[in-house]
């Protein structure tokens, strides 16, 4: 019998949500419903539980990204793929003005709404790749100082509309151009092409996530040759940034990843995959998981 520890109760909740997610995916398969790996409503609660397990594991993400953004009081912002508010909430606390949290998952945005308190955060259930999202923010078109995102842009996949294949990432940057004021900045972090992190997603996550995983990675070459064409956005800076996720134990790390990626795996299988693809090490009293990200800073001319 497994010894009880402080994570035992939340592990039960995680396993229950994994079971629900597994049953939903299996039901859709039996009914012949096409799988949609970008439907984060299926695993929105798992994502929340991951952060209940390790609420400060990703503090370096915020530190690194905010170091690039340097947000100021009074600056209006948009958080793209805002999720449960990991970046929206601390950013709105600094700017003390309106922030739009844009995400296609109503489950995740509902969790954000429960946590935001009196902050002026407007949730938009949509993707910035869609013109409808611009309509939802119409009073601030051309009035936004900051657009940010973290790990969500690679989920914006090409989509066929009226017989034409539409590059949704390019559409997102076009809409960002519309929303930003001249001198405004789009500063974000995402998974870079041909990196240890992209290989982690292409291997482990694609294989073991209950809902699957599809992606379209970012690169400097794509920004220059494709994504920014036809916009007023220029590249100020693009770099690979060494980020660490911090955990007090391997058990905490494994549970966090199971919730984050809807992993239907044992703790040891999760850790084995992390060692193989990303690597982690014990430093003092904590474990550091390598999580290298591609950061970019765009400015509107």
Q: Strand, helix or coil at 55? A: coil
Q: Contact at 8 Å (CB) between 284 and 274? A: no
Can you give the pTM of this predicted structure?
A: 0.92
Beta strands in 213-256 (DSSP E): 233-241, 244-247
Q: Tens of pLDDT along the chain (301 residues)? A: 456 788 999 999 999 999 999 999 899 889 987 666 556 677 878 988 999 999 999 999 999 999 999 999 999 999 999 999 999 999 999 999 999 999 999 999 999 999 999 999 999 999 999 999 999 999 999 999 999 999 999 999 999 999 999 999 999 999 999 999 999 999 999 999 999 999 999 999 999 999 989 999 999 999 999 999 999 999 999 999 999 999 999 999 999 999 999 998 999 999 999 999 999 999 999 999 999 999 999 999 9
Burial category of 132 from C-beta neighbours within 10 Å (exposed 0-12, middle 13-18, buried 19 and up): exposed
Locate 113 and state its tokens: 């709404």
Q: Contact at 8 Å (CB) between 201 and 182? A: no
d(C-alpha 287, C-alpha 245), whole Å: 8
Q: Which residues contact 259 (CB under 8 A, 6 or more apart)?
A: 14, 17, 46, 47, 48, 49, 50, 51, 53
pLDDT value at residue 4: 73
pLDDT value at residue 278: 98
Q: Contact at 8 Å (CB) between 130 and 124? A: no
E strand or H helix that includes residue 176: helix 168-179
d(C-alpha 153, C-alpha 128), whole Å: 10
Give φ, ψ of 261 to 5 degrees. Answer: -110, 10
């Amino acid at each position: 019998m497994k010894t009880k520890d402080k994570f035992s109760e939340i592990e039960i909740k995680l396993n229950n949500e994994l079971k629900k997610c597994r049953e939903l995916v299996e039901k859709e398969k039996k009914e012949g419903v096409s799988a949609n790996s970008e439907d984060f409503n299926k695993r929105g609660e798992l994502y929340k539980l991951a952060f209940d397990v390790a609420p400060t594991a990703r503090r370096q993400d915020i530190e690194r990204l905010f170091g690039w953004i340097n947000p100021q009081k009074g600056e209006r912002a948009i958080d793209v793929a805002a999720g449960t508010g990991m970046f929206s909430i601390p950013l709105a606390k600094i700017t003390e003005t309106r922030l739009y949290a844009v995400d296609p998952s109503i489950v995740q945005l509902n969790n954000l709404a429960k946590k935001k308190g009196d902050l002026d955060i407007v949730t938009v259930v949509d993707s910035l790749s869609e013109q409808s999202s611009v309509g939802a923010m119409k009073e601030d078109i051309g009035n936004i100082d900051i657009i940010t995102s973290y790990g969500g842009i690679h989920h914006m996949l090409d989509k066929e509309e009226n017989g034409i294949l539409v590059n949704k990432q390019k559409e997102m940057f076009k809409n960002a151009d519309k929303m930003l004021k001249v001198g405004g900045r789009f500063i974000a972090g995402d998974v870079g092409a041909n990196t240890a992190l992209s290989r982690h997603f292409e291997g482990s996550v694609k294989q073991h996530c209950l809902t699957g995983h599809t992606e379209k990675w970012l690169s400097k070459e794509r920004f220059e040759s494709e994504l920014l064409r036809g916009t007023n956005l220029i590249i100020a800076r693009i770099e690979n940034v060494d980020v660490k996720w911090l955990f007090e134990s391997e058990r905490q790390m494994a549970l966090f990843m199971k919730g984050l990626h809807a992993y239907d795996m044992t703790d040891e299988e999760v850790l084995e995959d992390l060692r193989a693809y990303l690597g982690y090490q014990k430093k003092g009293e904590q474990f550091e998981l390598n999580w290298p990200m591609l950061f970019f800073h765009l400015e509107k001319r």
